[in-house]
């Protein structure tokens, strides 16, 4: 059953309660390999369900537009101070509702419509809000996009530098949603300085790895850092902006009143809890284990003939091009879901298929590491993935799903008992 329990919900609205219970069981019984997902702790779950959700708090600590902030201000201040200490930054704003609004706040703070901005192209692994055409950031700004080399699947900083020198962007974004390799923050910073641009590091996917010392930090290189608070950081669905002191006021003003009203105080409290957890020594072990599991899984997939973009991974994320397997990413992802293995179909660099029916799948090891799976389990995961992708009938799919449930029965999940 769901933990913490939901007896009042079950009594008041059994239909919704049944859906919550069903989702909790689904998360318990499946190997969750979606790179942007994780399991939060029971403490984070409890924080998100408190009476803090009842309170409006437009403004910032000490400067609110509503009375009754005697406990809200300390909650937000605590989250800010923990973020500053954990990441070693001058300033932190914990109010953004999610990663996209956090990135939009950067544009609002530092750019005007029509200004040139630069980011990684979505098909190469970037994010919609880094200037991709269908996003407001691609419609309201003059966006130029860099990608990866076809022969290596990696960013070529010489090509990035040449593009930056030619286009002279005001902002340069590094980071993205499907980058399996270490981001060279120092290299990007050197380019940004050369063209007098502000470097923004979007570390939404790797924030937990940065906090845990398993990925180099952008601090000291990127003037502004944007991140979500879930994924590898293992917090609630929220976001943060961190920066040099120089950008504190414009970023705060862009978040509120520029883009948002009152912060979600229950989420702020949960962010504070997650940041406290990430500051503990054990979190460094956890971050290292995420990377170790990803490398072990990548090696096992390579051994089974899978084509990995860039040939492997340095972090939590693996991007597989299934072209050589004769199957598209979408049918593979759906077969794997039926087999008890959850991931997402995803475009790969230079993909010849459409985004809604791409050639690849994306997976990550944060959630399975939270469940206690180790490098010893990764070859078995690769075997299941291989069998499910090649399966010709539901009998094999059902057999894999049963094997998955058997394995996970011995690995507790926060939020389920």
Structure tokens at 331: 């049918």
Question: What is the residue-averaged pLDDT of the chain?
Answer: 97
In a domain, 202, yes or no: yes
Question: Cα separation of 164 and 172, whole Å?
Answer: 9
Chain segment 363-382, per-residue pLDDT in tens: 999 999 999 999 999 999 99
- How many distinct structural domains can be found in the chain? 2
Q: Which residues participate in catalysis according to the annotation?
A: 56, 58, 202, 228, 231, 237
Instruction: Identify the CATH number of the domain in which residue 358 sits.
Output: 3.90.1150.10
Enclosing domain of residue 212: 47-278
DSSP letter for each residue of 179-233: --S---HHHHHHHHHHTT-EEEEE-TTTHHHHHTTSS---TTT-SEEEEESSGGG
pLDDT at 276 over 90: yes
pLDDT, tens digit, 9 for 90 and up, residues 333-361 = 999 999 999 999 999 999 999 999 999 99
| Structure confidence at residue 225 (pLDDT) | 98
In a domain, 134, yes or no: yes
What average pLDDT does the segment 48-61 reach?
98
The DSSP result for 98-124, as a single string, is SHHHHHHHHHHHH--TT-EEEEE-GGG
pLDDT at 392 over 90: no
Are the CB atoms for 135 and 125 separated by under 8 Å?
no
Helices and strands (H, E) in the chain, number of each type: 16, 15
- Tell me: the pLDDT tens digits for 289-306? 999 999 999 999 999 999
Q: Which helix (H) or strand (E) holds 22?
A: helix 14-29
**Residue of 239, 236, 219 whose CA lies nearest to 228:** 239
- Axis-axis angle for helices 378-390, 281-303 (nearest 10): 40
Do 209 and 336 lie in one domain? The reply is no
Q: Which residues contact 368 (CB under 8 A, 6 or more apart)?
A: 31, 32, 33, 293, 377, 381
Interstrand relation of 360-364 and 317-321 (parallel, antiparallel or unpaired): antiparallel
102 within some domain: yes
Give the range among 107-111, 222-226, 308-312, 413-417 with minimum mean pLDDT: 413-417
Burial of 122 (0-12, 13-18, 19+ CB in 10 A): buried
Q: In this structure, are residues 194 and 157 in contact, taking their beta carbons and an 8 Å threshold?
A: no
Residue pLDDT, tens place only, 32-47: 999 999 999 999 999 9
pLDDT at 393 (0 to 100): 87
Q: Average of pLDDT values for 97-107?
A: 98
End residue of a domain, out of 278, 298, 314: 278
Q: How confident is the model at residue 250 (pLDDT cuts 50, 70, 90)?
A: very high
What are the beta bridge partners of residue 342? 32
User: C-alpha distances in angstroms, 149 versus 80, 123, 172, 263, 349?
Assistant: 39, 12, 19, 41, 9
Is there a single domain that holds both residue 248 and residue 294?
no
Q: Does pLDDT of 417 surpass 90?
A: no
pLDDT tens string 139-167: 999 999 999 999 999 999 999 999 999 99
Domain boundary among the residues 232, 254, 278 is at 278
Please indicate, yes or no, whether residues 199 and 65 belong to a single structural domain of this protein: yes
Average pLDDT for residues 231-239, to the nearest whole number?
Answer: 98
In a domain, 299, yes or no: yes
Q: Is residue 8 part of a domain?
A: no
Kindly report the CATH number assigned to the domain that includes residue 158.
3.40.640.10
Q: Do 325 and 398 fall within a single domain?
A: yes
């Amino acid at each position: 059953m769901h933990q913490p329990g939901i007896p009042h919900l079950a009594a008041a609205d059994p239909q919704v309660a049944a859906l919550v219970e069903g989702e909790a069981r689904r998360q318990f019984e499946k190997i969750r390999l979606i790179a942007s997902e994780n399991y939060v702790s029971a403490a984070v779950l409890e924080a998100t369900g408190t009476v803090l959700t009842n309170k409006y708090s437009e403004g910032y600590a000490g400067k609110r537009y509503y009375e009754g902030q005697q406990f809200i201000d300390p909650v937000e201040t605590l989250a800010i101070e923990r973020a500053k200490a954990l990441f070693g930054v001058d300033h932190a704003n914990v109010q953004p509702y999610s990663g996209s609004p956090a990135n939009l706040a950067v544009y609002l703070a530092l750019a005007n419509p029509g200004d040139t901005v630069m980011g990684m192209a979505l098909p190469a692994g970037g994010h919609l809000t880094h200037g991709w055409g269908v996003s407001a950031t691609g419609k309201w700004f003059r966006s130029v996009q860099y990608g990866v080399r076809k022969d290596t699947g990696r960013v070529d900083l010489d090509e990035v530098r040449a593009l930056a020198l030619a286009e002279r962007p005001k902002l340069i974004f590094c980071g993205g949603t499907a980058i399996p390799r270490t981001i060279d923050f120092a290299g990007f910073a050197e380019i940004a300085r050369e063209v007098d641009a502000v470097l923004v590091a979007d570390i939404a996917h790797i924030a937990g790895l940065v906090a845990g010392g398993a990925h180099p930090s952008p601090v000291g290189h990127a003037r502004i850092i944007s991140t979500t608070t879930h994924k590898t950081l293992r917090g609630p669905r929220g976001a943060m902006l961190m920066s040099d002191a120089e950008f504190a006021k414009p970023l705060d003003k862009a978040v509120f009143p520029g883009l948002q009203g009152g912060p979600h105080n229950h989420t702020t409290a949960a962010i504070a809890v997650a940041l406290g957890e990430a500051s503990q020594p054990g979190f460094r072990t956890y971050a290292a284990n995420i990377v170790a599991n990803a490398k072990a899984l990548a090696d096992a997939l390579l051994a089974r003939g899978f084509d990995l973009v860039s040939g492997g991974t340095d972090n939590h994320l693996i991007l597989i091009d299934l072209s050589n397997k004769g199957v598209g990413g979408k049918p593979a992802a759906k077969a794997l879901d039926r087999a008890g293995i959850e991931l997402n179909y995803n475009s790969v660099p230079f993909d010849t298929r459409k985004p809604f029916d791409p050639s690849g799948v994306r997976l990550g090891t944060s959630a399975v590491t939270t469940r206690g799976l180790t490098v010893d389990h990764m070859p078995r995961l690769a075997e299941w993935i291989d069998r499910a992708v090649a399966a010709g009938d539901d009998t094999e799919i059902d057999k894999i799903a049963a094997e998955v449930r058997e394995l996970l029965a011995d690995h507790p999940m926060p939020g389920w008992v």
